[in-house]
Amino acid sequence: MPQPGAATVRSRVRIPLTFPDGYRAEAEVFTFHGLADGAEHLALALGAVPDGGTPLVRLHSECLTGDVFGSDRCDCGPQLRESVERISEAGGYLLYLRQEGRGIGLYNKLDAYALQDSGMDTYDANTALGLPEDGRDYTAAAQMLGTLGAAGIDLLSNNPDKAAQLAELGVTVRHRVPTGVHLSASNVRYLKAKVERTGHSIELSRLVG
């Protein structure tokens, strides 16, 4: 995979964050010029990386239904909340990537939900719509990390593809750190599909019973 070109910081601004459970954090939010896909991705700097330490980084794909409306059909909202706290404690970055529905967009994601209601899993529903199972590309994320000086990271993710793509793009992933298991009655099939189809590091034993 070719190495991405350089991006530059467009702006930076401090934003206090408060989550519905009352948890608060301070973020310095970066915007960028020159990202490969032209999308309005954000980097949130949280906490402080200790001298000689490695930043903890989360690549979080935008999920309007989960992040904003609290949908239980996925685990995105709880992962976002968990990530902000863990990165604030360790020091690092949350990259908020505008990749709704694993890159297929909001309307297509909702169409895929309708197919899932008829029995398909999340990946088969995408392909039935003529769309990729996972259309995400992390070139812009690698550019953002390079601009922020984070050539080596600990990656907060259950998804091995994120680590593999970043490594191909020249980012050293020292450790892949799993998130918690955010299980609900409405997302158990979704989480099982992520384990069985794409090797996510989620304990299947936590998804049964």
What positions carry a catalytic annotation?
Answer: 134, 136
Q: What angle do CA 195, 201, 203 make, to 5 degrees?
A: 75
Asked if 108 and 134 count as a contact pair (C-beta separation under 8 A), the reply is no
Other C-beta atoms lying within 10 Å of the C-beta of residue 125: 24
Distance from C-alpha of 184 to C-alpha of 182, rounded to nearest angstrom = 7
The residue behind tokens 């984070």 is: 150
CB atoms within 10 A of CB 102: 21
Helix H or strand E encompassing 80: helix 76-90
Residue 102 identity (one-letter amino acid) = R
Helix or strand or coil: residue 105? coil
What does the block give as tokens for 81?
A: 């909340």
Sole residue written with tokens 């939010």: 29
